[in-house]
Structure 1
């Protein structure tokens, strides 16, 4: 599609909107933007960094404790991603104010995380991980929409990257804590993460006290309009086609990264027995994720989101390949960084594209895209765990993941040329 056709029309700013902005006070906008972005960051750290990804560093402890084998670990991972898929699809039908959903998601994540440490029954774990996946999808979609809308109202879209550093900070924290206190076992880890999540939820609870309403008129700055259009200007048919391909191709990195993201500590411990390095690769992934989110948010708003997504897919493919062809501390380190750098940048660019196509009504498209991502995540562990058990190696699954990412990148480049 022509770039000019994809560019949103600039809405006329009514006098009363300008007066409201003036009364709001420029002096208060930085504080309000910072507060909103940090609250969403903490929310995603809890819902994703803990609610979804604490399972990764705790999986080796659960396997070592004898309560779980690799195949059942793969089932737990896939059930979590199946819940994520179901939750993402249900976002389309939810009509509850976004802030209330975010609050409910925080509370539910705390309870579900504690539940993982209070039982050793596999069937209970399975239910908890499925529900936790649905909760993380709801929280992610509506915290994203709430935060991006709030920043658009404040004409502070540069803070958008801060929101998506949340999962990275959560991953770093969970990885380092498991490394430092892993001797206490998986049960203590789950309970500890649940208590920490409760404290964080209390800290941001007040920020989500009121729902953010859609503005009557969008901000007038070029950056704001490029990032958060109120009404897309492209032809409806073209928008539907672009939305379809966004959903389809956003599912690719779900499969592409998830095998590494689920089994990285297990893979690294197998390749480097007795080494202290395997405990550090997951925090490296999280730290790179934070950097990537901040850098991604600083890239020019007029750059095509689809081309930036394609570049991110290629980076992750290279990172996966490094762990296969160079299975040592250096290979896993560089691989973790290359997989982590684009991780939340992918989310940021995809959510921007959804808002470019649907404006203030992007939550449904975000939900569909997140559901496609969830399908990829469900498939990843279901392919990897049995294949690894049969062949004694994760390499075949990892090569498949890398190839899928390259194919997705080519698809995105193609979409910019039609």
Structure 2
């Protein structure tokens, strides 16, 4: 009874964090990342690699538009409404994938799913931060963002169980829709307020003085990280399955990605606090670069599982690291700078799947797409090294 009371208490920190994590599992897992999990089967039955890349690109375009909009929404009551809309869109767009193989409907649904995911991730995270009752919310928000890792792991486990019972990938989408409907009720209830909250909207002018040479380099580096995130985030199971002797191991690698991502944000933020944000961003991007290249040089199962660990263990943390650093550099004017960072990252996300499918179709494997991705991440690392030497010493 005591646990039930805590779970139903809208203002208890445990229930707020749990609701935030469940929301991420639906909005980011069901509406986005499980697509990667089911991709190998969909490629066998319906999708082409080119269309899969286009779907990934438009999904991130939808996410980009939603995340930019979210940055400028200040009214907390509006945020609650947009958060709920995001959950609904995440569910409805998944239902489209379960009920049709019409290309146009899939394109539209993936764009809308991306927008819905932004409402759940960006707006939902703002609600969690607002409701949490801690003096220092940094560690608690690290727990909240572990939901991204959970979103990959849990939706992948659900899809594996469904497929093991002989269901098709379309049946699996139906099961995920049912799961999302049931569990969405909890975050809708918890991440709300008993009465309208009076808020004062703060309007920020576009301050060009924020865009110092260091900040401009940071924005470009975050663009390269957007590229570094997407290719494995879209194709990793199929990349692994395409390696000689590793057919069927793609799903296991993707599960490892999710598990690795659960605690990564907390660890990276603590390291940044101790050793400096720029130093730790560089280290994390170097680790990510190594993970990107492993499938191009080896078909050893253990090395490629490590590749999954390196990817899962860096991409969530890097978002937190860049955004946290951007907040510190914003001089109390976070909207403009975080909007610029978000846009830069989002453009990288949109571009990467498109060049990937061109290279995959031309060369017949994923190697050159991974080479180019690793090179772009290397450019970001190099820029940060230069920025550190020229502007931070």
Per the normalisation by structure 1, the TM-score is: 0.81
Q: Which residue in 1 is equivalent to 2:323?
A: 351
Q: Give the unaligned 5+ runs of structure 2.
A: 1-10
1:73 is paired with a residue whose SS is helix
User: How much is the aligned-residue C-alpha RMSD, in angstroms?
Assistant: 2.9
Name the residue aligned to 2:30.
Answer: 50
Q: 1:184 and 2:167 equivalent?
A: yes
Residue 202 of structure 1 pairs with residue 185 of structure 2:
yes
Deviation at 1:282, TM superposition (A): 0.4
Pairing partner for 1:76 from 30, 34, 55: 55
Q: Distance in 2 between matches of 1:155 and 1:394?
A: 44
Instruction: Point out the more displaced range, 39-48 or 399-408.
Output: 39-48
In structure 2, relative to structure 1, the CA distance for the partners of 1:300 and 1:310 (3 Å cut) is closer
Cα distance between partner residues in 1 of 2:310 and 2:288: 6
Task: Figure out how many residues of one structure are paired with residues of the other and give that number.
Answer: 372
Q: 1:143 to 1:368 in 2, by over 3 A?
A: farther
- Equivalent pair of 1:36/1:151 in contact (CA under 8 Å): yes
Report which stretch shifted further, 276-285 or 295-304.
295-304
Per-residue deviation, 1:363: 4.5
> Does residue 330 of structure 1 match 2:308?
no
- Structure 1 CA distance for aligned equivalents of residues 255 and 304 of structure 2: 12
Q: Give, in angstroms, the shift of residue 238 of structure 1.
A: 5.5
Contact 2:237 2:249 in 1 (8 A): no
1:339 corresponds to 2:320: no
| 1:38 aligns with one of 14, 18, 30 | 18
Could you tell me which residue of structure 2 aligns to residue 11 of structure 1?
Answer: none
Give the 3 Å change call, closer, same or farther, for CA 370–136 of structure 1 in structure 2: farther
Counterpart CA distance in 1 for 2:257 and 2:244 is: 18
- Structure 2 CA distance for aligned equivalents of residues 212 and 312 of structure 1: 39
Q: Quickly say closer, same or farther: Cα 1:150–1:368, change in 2 above 3 A.
A: farther
Q: What does 1:210-359 align with in structure 2 at a 5 Å threshold?
A: 210=193, 239-241=210-212, 242-272=214-244, 275-299=247-271, 301=273, 303-358=275-330
Q: Which residue of 2 aligns with 1:63?
A: 43
User: Which runs of 5 or more residues in structure 1 are unaligned?
Assistant: 1-30, 216-229, 231-235
TM-score, scaled relative to structure 2 = 0.85
Q: CA deviation at 1:301?
A: 3.1
Matched, 1:397 2:336: no
Worse-superposed segment, 360-369 or 106-115: 360-369
Alignment check: 8 A CA contact 1:61 1:186 kept: yes
Question: What is the CA-CA distance between 1:327 and the residue it aligns to?
Answer: 2.0
* 1: CA distance, partners of 2:278 / 2:160: 37
Counterparts of 2:278 and 2:12 in 1: how far apart (Å)?
30
Change over 3 Å in CA distance of 1:258–1:156 after alignment to 2: closer
| Residue deviations 1:199-239 (CA, integer Å, cap 9, x gap) | 22111112221388889xxxxxxxxxxxxxx9xxxxx7663
In structure 2, do the counterparts of structure 1 residues 214 and 32 end up closer, same or farther at CA, with 3 Å as the change threshold? farther
CA distance, structure 2, for counterparts of residue 403 and residue 33 of structure 1: 42
Indicate the SS of the match to 1:301: helix
The separation in 1 between residues aligned to 2:25 and 2:219, in whole angstroms, is 24
What residue is the counterpart of 1:14 in the other structure?
none
